[in-house]
Chain A
């Protein structure tokens, strides 16, 4: 009888620590994220660099945290599966380039602003959303960074990777998916790639 209690206790102990292990992981992610943001702020504030150098450095510092390749695939949805391998590769390259351009130009407007993580949401073991506020003198902007953990780590990437960003409730990925879907109803994938190439 006694040994049953001990087994239950042991199980309890394991579960308790497993819980703290999971909590630890999200906290670590938060720390890592804030460190990255600090790194980016240093680059933005470094006035000795030219604008292009600054943007280049920002992209270089952020790339390990983002899975742009996955975003490219998700943005096409089921259409992705129908693409030829050559087209897949070309599309990913174009999408990634466009994403980098768009992100760095947005970050460049960043002046005397502060980032605060106000909530950590974990829906599944391998999905975490960091709800952050971008605080400037006059307003607060809510930005949600959605992370996932790939089953096998990817070379030269972090363990947790951003696959979507929501600005004031507007998901970059969903918006892209919707506009690509509508575009492809009347036009071809080649035309879509031309349009993407023009943007970056």
Chain B
């Protein structure tokens, strides 16, 4: 009987001390000042070792990739950035956001198909709801009332993610001219996704926004400049954290894709 009361008492005491210690930052009596390079360090490092394992990225084309990364960065610095800055000065941010919405809305067939291919039926129906709402109430996709007023969220899916979903590995990393970091799986996936894109350079039996090469290049460059005008800050801040730009961008891309596939 006594054990029972002791246990009850102890548990109550513990429970209340748990509630009353509202200041987690309050240091207790045993304070160690932070020192650099003690033996304890090594243990600490080993404790985190399991989490810190970095996946080796397959990179047989690193020589080419490095050159292409510098080329892309140069193209950004000396072409896209000045052009996007000029463009930014002419068009108000809300117009640019609308243009970005318009292009995004056009890629609905790609998102729908890839959501369906992965068996994500709820997301697919939400995407469809977005497309219908934004194409009508949102005036051809220029506005996004679906997420503002109807709480319909976008579900970005492309064929690379679909392949990843079914266990296809990323393959060697490849940096594409102007498009930036990618890998074999995602490069191959550009083709099926392009078939579902209304921005195209071949004659198709169904409606597409562009039909010839020049129209296609015009529309794509316009989209890219518009995108750059909205996202320049992001790239520049990210680039600042890089000690060596190529491996940095490569790792960021691969980790980001893994996360997208996981979702």
Contacts and interface: CB of A to CB of B under 8 A. Distances in A.
B25 interface: yes
Interface stretch (A39-47, A51-59, A112-120, A167-175): A167-175
Interface in A144-181: 148, 152-160, 163-164, 168-171, 173-175, 177-181
Contacts of B45: 73-74, 77-78, 80-81
Contacts of A163: 48
B188 interface: no
Nearest to B258: A169
A153 B54 contact: no
B259 A11 contact: no
Contacts of B18: 20-21, 24-25
B36 A69 contact: yes
B41 A73 contact: yes
A7 B247 CA distance: 59
A14 B11 contact: yes
Contacts of B184: none
Given A73-B44, A199-B240, A10 B256 contact: no
B122 interface: no
A154 B31 contact: yes
Contacts, number: 159
B33 interface: yes
The contact size tier of chain A is 35 or more
A88 interface: yes
B42 to A, nearest CB: 6
A181 B22 CA distance: 41
Contact of B11 (A17, A70, A148, A199): A17
A179 B52 CA distance: 13
Q: Dominant SS at the A interface?
A: helix
B36 A175 contact: no
A62 interface: no
A196 B12 CA distance: 52
B129 to A, nearest CB: 18
Interface string B3-15: 1101110111011
A154 B22 CA distance: 18
Given A6-B3, A168-B256, A168-B259, A109 B24 contact: no
B25 A169 contact: no
Contacts of A190: none
Given A14-B10, A170-B252, A178-B251, A28 B22 contact: yes
A171 B244 CA distance: 17
A28 B19 CA distance: 9
A34 interface: no
Given A175-B248, A178-B54, A102 B36 contact: no
B34 interface: yes
Per CB-CB distance, the 3 closest pairs between chain A and chain B, nearest first, are: A169-B259, A10-B7, A17-B11
Interface of B: 1, 3-4, 6-8, 10-12, 14-15, 18-19, 21-22, 24-28, 30-34, 36-37, 41-42, 44-45, 48, 51-52, 54, 57, 97, 233, 237, 240-244, 247-248, 251-252, 255-256, 258-260, 262
